[in-house]
Structure 1
């Protein structure tokens, strides 16, 4: 399948799923600052992928993928903290970490693919 728009990217779809899961998980949290921060980080993953997709160059798209990966790491870090602060159960933390790691693996693969295409030219 040819990727024509960012919505076709599996990584964007999975990142969107991560954002939805984070929103559902933290919608009832009493720590408003914490809930807001983790939701912003989760949304940043899919938004950075979308924003970078129509970049002027492969290098710039790679930069946006790096931003998405950093945001995914922020979500992971906050999940560890959320579990320690008793905002979420261990099993929910593990579920969210699994999604983050899947998104990160796809981002890394896409980044490598973009770099290889840059070297070919």
Structure 2
């Protein structure tokens, strides 16, 4: 799924630019790491639920985690842990993921297909 692949790349960007950054030594790196992984993990978990309503819920959690990462990026930039170019790059990546998540949420909410677990051919 493209949105999951984007979230995976974003996690790697956070890892490379934040967790491996020497300026982060006194910062709680684990929180930004957990929040970035939460984006992709909730996409995967929601997908596996096989129902659009649950998937939408997990996508909303992912979107919330993207907002959390942005808040943490602002704080790290304010504390001079990131230069402006890196901060803007990461912030824009997270905004792009949030926009795609919103679009996907809207698509699923308007879809007539409610998910595989509601398919009458699934043996239930």
Task: Report the TM-score, using the length of structure 1 for normalisation.
Answer: 0.86
Larger radius of gyration: 2
Identify the residue that residue 18 of structure 1 maps to in structure 2.
10
- C-alpha RMSD over aligned residues: 1.5
* Pairs aligned (count): 111
Task: Return the offset for 1:91.
Answer: 0.9
Structure 1 runs of 4+ aligned residues shifted over 4 Å read none
Deviations 1:23-71 (A, max 9, x none): 11122320252x1110110010001101110114210000000000000
SS where residue 111 of structure 2 aligns? helix
Question: Structure 2: any 5+ residue segments left out of the alignment?
Answer: 115-124
Q: Is it true that 1:31 corresponds to 2:26 in the alignment?
A: yes
Identify the residue that residue 40 of structure 1 maps to in structure 2.
34
What aligned pairs does 1:1-121 form with structure 2 within 5 A after superposition? 9-26=1-18, 27-28=20-21, 29-33=24-28, 35-118=29-112
Query: In structure 2, how many angstroms separate the alpha carbons of the residues matched to 1:108 and 1:60?
Result: 15
Question: Structure 1: any 5+ residue segments left out of the alignment?
Answer: 1-8
Task: Report the TM-score, using the length of structure 2 for normalisation.
Answer: 0.84
